[in-house]
Structures are given as structure tokens and as C-alpha cells.
Amino acid sequence: MAVPATDKNSARFLRVPRLALKHREAVEAWLFVSPILTGFLIFFLGPLIAVFFYSMTEWNLLTQQAAFVGMENYADALSRNPDFWHVVRNSLIFAAGLVPLNMALALTLALALSRPFFGVVFFRAVFFAPVVTSAVAWAIVWKFLLQNEAGAVNQILAVVGIDGPNWLREPDWAMAAVIVTRVIKMVGLNMILYIAALQTIPRDYEEAARLEGASNWQIFRMVIWPLLAPTTLIIMVITTIGSFKVFDHIYLMTGGGPENGTLVLAFYIYEQGFKFFNVGYASALAMIMFVVVMVLTIVQLMLRRKDMQ
């Protein structure tokens, strides 16, 4: 790069040669992103590639033996291990219960709380409070509340004459309990997203519809709901992905039980990997989870792009 100072009668060649501004900017930019990028490569991309290779090994930490087995782990999961389909079923039930309940409640609360009125700040704060609370604390308290006879929930039910079930000891009730307590924990987030979306809808639309004689329900059905559609789609995908990632909640409330009734994918991966040390099999499960979540995310990004156009 150096330009020798051969032209002695011209000062302009005495200048210290340096990078062109454009290249300098590029070097600086890479320096700026380098911390994140380095960490990302080491703790994220590397492990992601590694998990793919692990998934093709039979590797048990206890016996310290590893062998390449190709797609055996996947075949194992998909066709031989009955647990896997049980887990898939549970995960789908969990999602199918959680997502509609969460979204319906979030939207209802958002509609009620999107306009200022006395107490609106209080209610928003209340419905959002569980979001900032640790999932561990939340699960512990609900586990306490949902005990069979000593639990506050059943004691309150007894007051009104209902004999409540042993919530966390019966598979179906346990699933229901986990879903509902998870919804209460997370619904505030979707509520906030819905409120934000509702507040961007100009009131003119609603007022125009009202002048034309539309009822509240008609206004919602024919004006608000269609305008919320992009938000609804995004919330749906985010919530679905979130439902597949639930781990701590299950771990602490039910431990996947009873009778594996709440054994969902994230928990199953943890159990296989860190309890039974089936590294290969757990990695295959992780890859399956990765693909599911990736597909959902790509769908979300596509929806979002369409929404932006």
C-alpha cells in the first residue's frame, strides 16, 4: 500500500499512506461485531453443529462409549421408542391447550384495557406481574396451591361444595393444571402486544362504523379483528414456539409425571441427556426440536415480511 515519496516537489505524497475510508469502516465494523460474533460461534454455532453430529452417535456418558450409528437415533425415536410419540402427543396437547387459551384471554384483556379508564394501570400491572416473576417461583407456589387436600385451591373449592381432584397426581388434570398456570404466567406478554397493536388502530374506523350503526360485536368482528390479523398471526407463532420450549415449569410442578402425563419435548430432552445420559438420543431429539422451531420461525418471518409490505 505504501506510496514511496518519489515526487519530491509535491507535498501530497509525503502523507502517511492509510486505508481507504471505505475499508477502514469495514474493519471497524467487524471489530464492533466481533465480541458477539466470537461468542456466537463458540457457544452457539459450534454447539449447533456438534449436536447434529452427536445425534448420529450412540453415546452413553455412563459407559463412556461412543459409536457412529448414522440415523439410528432418529429411527429409534420415530419408530421404535413409544415414549417419543407419547411426548409428541403431550407436546401437541400442551400447545393446543395453551395457545388458544392464552391468545383468547390476552385479546379479551387487551380489549378491556386498551382504553384509559379508572384502574387501567392497576389491572395492566396485575395481569403482567407473573411475567416478571421467575417461572421457578411461580411453579413452586402453584404446586403448593394445587396439593390434594392441603392445597388452597381444593380447600376453596370445598367451601363451595366441589370435591376438587388431586390436580398434580392425575395425568389429565396435571396437564390441565400445567397449561392453565402457564397461561396465567405468560398471558400478560401477549396482552401487552395486543394492546400495542390496538392502540395503533385509528379510532376513526371504529367511529365511522358506529355512525353506520354497527354494534360493539360487529365493530370487533368486522373492523378490529381483521386489522389485528397480522398481530394475531405473529403472536400465535411466538406462543406456539414458546410452548415447545417450556421446561422449568414442568420440571418443578410435575417432573413430567404423573405416568409421563406431562412429559413434553423440552423436558424429555433434558431427561434423556442429563438424567439417563443418552447423549446421542437426546441430541437427535434436540435436532428434531430445532427443525420444528425453525420451521415455525421461518413461517413467522414470512408472515412478518408479508405484513410489512
Partner 1 sequence: MTSLTLSNLEKRFGNVEIIRGVDLTIKDGEFVVFVGPSGCGKSTLLRMIAGLEDITKGSLYIGDRLINDVQAAKRGVAMVFQSYALYPHLNVRDNMGFGLKVRKVPVEERQRRVKEAAAALKLEALLDRYPRELSGGQRQRVAIGRAIVGNPQVFLFDEPLSNLDAELRVHMRSEIASLHKRLGNTMIYVTHDQIEAMTLADKIVVLHDGRIEQIGTPRELYTRPGNLFVAQFIGSPKMNIMPAAAITLKPAGREVGTGAAHSIGMRPEHLSVVAPGEGMLRGKVVISEYTGAASLLHVALDNDETCLVTHDGPAPAADTEVGLEIAIENLHFFDREGNAIDGKAIAEPAPLP
Partner 2 sequence: MTLTVRQIRTLNRICWTISLLVVAIPFVFPFLWMISSGFKSATEIFGQPSLIPRVWRWQNFVEVFEYQPFARQYFNSLYIALAVTALTLVFSSLAGYALARMRFAGAGLLMLFLISALMVPEEVTIIPNFFLIRWMGLMDTHSPLILLPVFGPHGVMATFLMRQYFLALPKELEEAGKMDGLSRLGIWWRIALPMSRPALAAVAIITFLFSWNLFLEPLVFLSSLELFTLPLALSNFTDAYGLPLWHLQLAATSLAVVPILGVYLIAQRQIIESFALSGVKG
Which helix (H) or strand (E) is 66 found in, with range?
A: strand 65-68
- Binding test (CB under 8 A) with partner 1, winner from 10, 63, 64, 200: 10
CB atoms within 10 A of CB 148: 13
From the list partner 1, partner 2, none, partner contacted by residue 21 (C-beta under 5 to 8 A by kind): partner 1
Burial class (CB in 10 A: 0-12, 13-18, 19+), 73: buried
- Location of C-alpha cell 502517511: 16
From the list partner 1, partner 2, none, partner contacted by residue 217 (C-beta under 5 to 8 A by kind): none
Residue 74 interacts with partner 2 (CB under 8 A): yes or no? no
Task: Kindly indicate which of the ranges 20-28, 128-136, 148-156, 246-254 contains the residues binding partner 1, using the contact rule CB under 8 A.
Answer: 20-28
- Binding test (CB under 8 A) with partner 1, winner from 6, 22, 150, 204: 22
From the list partner 1, partner 2, none, partner contacted by residue 18 (C-beta under 5 to 8 A by kind): partner 1
From the list partner 2, partner 1, none, partner contacted by residue 62 (C-beta under 5 to 8 A by kind): none
Residue 177 interacts with partner 2 (CB under 8 A): yes or no? no
Q: Which three cell numbers stand for residue 267?
A: 423436558
Residue 8 interacts with partner 1 (CB under 8 A): yes or no? no
From the list partner 2, partner 1, none, partner contacted by residue 65 (C-beta under 5 to 8 A by kind): none
Yes or no: say if 17 and 1 are a contact pair by the CB < 8 Å rule: yes
From the list partner 2, partner 1, none, partner contacted by residue 167 (C-beta under 5 to 8 A by kind): none
Rounded Cα–Cα distance for residues 175 and 256 (Å):
10
Q: Which three cell numbers stand for residue 33?
A: 461485531
Rounded Cα–Cα distance for residues 252 and 138 (Å):
9
DSSP 41: I
Least distance from C-beta 10 to partner 1, angstroms?
7
Q: Residues 204, 210, 215, 221: is their CA dihedral positive or negative?
A: negative
Residue 129 interacts with partner 2 (CB under 8 A): yes or no? yes
Least distance from C-beta 288 to partner 2, angstroms?
10
Residue 217 interacts with partner 2 (CB under 8 A): yes or no? no
> Quick one: which of 167, 137, 170 has its CA closest to 149?
167
**Site map (CB under 8 A) of partner 2, residues 287-306, x = contact:** x-xx--xx--xx--x-----
> Quick one: which of 86, 137, 30, 48 has its CA closest to 267?
86
Residue 130 interacts with partner 2 (CB under 8 A): yes or no? yes
Nearer to partner 1, 25 or 172 (CB): 25
